[in-house]
Amino acid sequence: MIRNRLWLLVAILVILIGFYPGIYFLIDRKFGLLSSKSNELLTNPFWNIGFYIHIILGGIALLTGWTQFNSNFRNKNIIFHRRIGMVYIISVAFSAFAGIYIGFFATGGLPSALGFICLGICWFSITLMAFINIKKRNIYIHQKLMVYSYTACFAALTLRIWLPILILIFKDFITAYTIVAWLCWVPNLFVAKLITNSMQTNVT
CA angle 66, 60, 83 (to 5 degrees): 70
What confidence tens digit (pLDDT) does each residue in 115-143 have?
A: 999 999 999 999 999 999 999 999 999 99
Q: pTM for the whole thing?
A: 0.84
In-domain check, residue 95? yes
28 inside domain: no
pLDDT tens digits, one per residue of 153-166: 999 889 988 999 99
Distance CA(12)–CA(72), nearest Å, equals 20
Q: What is the pLDDT of residues 10-20, one digit of tens each?
A: 666 666 665 56
Nearest one of 77, 49, 84, 32 to 63, comparing CA atoms = 84
What percentage of the chain exceeds 90 in pLDDT? 57
Q: Is 32 within a domain?
A: no
Residue 27 maps to a domain: no
Q: Is residue 26 part of a domain?
A: no
Confidence band, pLDDT 50/70/90 cuts, at residue 72:
confident
Query: Is 186 contained in some domain?
Result: yes
List the domain range (segments joined by +) for residue 97. 2-21+39-203
Instruction: Identify whether 71 is part of a domain.
Output: yes
Q: How many domains does the chain have?
A: 1
Any domain includes 34: no
